[in-house]
Amino acid sequence: MTDTLIQRIPNIKNEIHKLGVELNELSEKLSSLNIKTYKGTVLNSCLGDLPDRVQILDRSMRVIYSSFGLPNSWVQFSKVYSCFKKSYHGKDALDSDIEYTNAATRWARNSKYFLEFLMDAKLNYVSIESVTQKNIELLEEKYTTSTETSFKYKFELLMMLKESIRENSSQAKSPSSTLIRTEIFVNPERIKELKTVKIATYDLCKLIRLCEELNVTYGGEAYFSTAMLVRSILDHVPPIFQFQNFSEVSSQYGSKSLKKSLQNLQNSSRNISDSFLHQQIRDKESLPNSTQVDFRNDIDVLLSEIFRILK
């Protein structure tokens, strides 16, 4: 979220408050009109430019919600707004206006509560990481000692803020865990595909486990182990292709483009893993890095072909 938008939070809150007052007045007007008129006789909307003004404010709120990763009540409103733009059989303009106004009123209320919470927590001045424990305790006391309607909603937001701070703190203390989550070797979707394969001929549990361990070792910068696990996969899968070893698979199976990936695994990755396994100690060593053992694309091609054969 830009600094300009952060600075505008108080102004946006005031605009939404004024809009809420306008919506309440409009709701009373529509309710009165609904009593006085017959169904299907109101052909023109009474909303004027209200939906356009709400939509402009809604854009700002969407950015604010997504920036803080907290509840996005605008989603429900947007669905109703799209309904308002359509014409439904059996529903006159008055019915549509009432439905829209009710939805917009809920949206304005929740948006105002959310912005008030940001200001209470001083999040329009500081980042989530900078919120002090003292400020959180003051807000807890404030939100739990009053029956004000908005405090129930704000208390839920406060609990989410505390959880977000806790997660950020644990991630900062465990950089290696962040690597494991972000640096993966085998695409999780590919692993999910393999788990769906149910065939009596081959049990894929070991292959799946090797893939999962590849993600652990690669994410944890255990590159010797990564290369050895890649080799284990190559030695494990040839029967699926009706061959005795991976050398036969890479030279005899598949199209030209597929062979290119398989041969890269057979030649380059196997040579690297062999050097890791069999090279004896020397007076000087060079440790592997992520680039040296990065055969992710070729492994994905191999696993994709295995899934295609067995599904």
Residue 94 has pLDDT above 60, yes or no: yes
Query: Is 124 within 8 Å of 4 (Cβ atoms)?
Result: no
User: Given this model, what pLDDT does residue 60 score?
Assistant: 84
For every residue of 202-235, DSSP letters joined together read ---HHHHHHHHHHHHHHHTT-HHHHHHHHHHHHH
Give the angle 7-13-16 at the CA atoms, nearest 5°: 140
Q: How far apart are CA 71 and CA 67, in angstroms?
A: 11
Chain mean pLDDT for the chain: 83
pTM above 0.75, yes or no: no
The pLDDT > 90 percentage for the chain reads 34
Residue 297 has pLDDT above 80, yes or no: yes
The pLDDT tens digits for 241-258 are 999 999 999 999 988 889
Tokens matching residue 34: 């609904």
What are the Cα distances from residue 259, in Å, to 3, 234, 244, 253? 52, 14, 17, 7
The pLDDT tens digits for 159-182 are 888 887 777 666 655 554 444 445
Q: How far apart are CA 233 and CA 293, in angstroms?
A: 14
User: Could you tell me the end-to-end alpha-carbon distance of the chain, in angstroms, rounded to an integer?
Assistant: 45
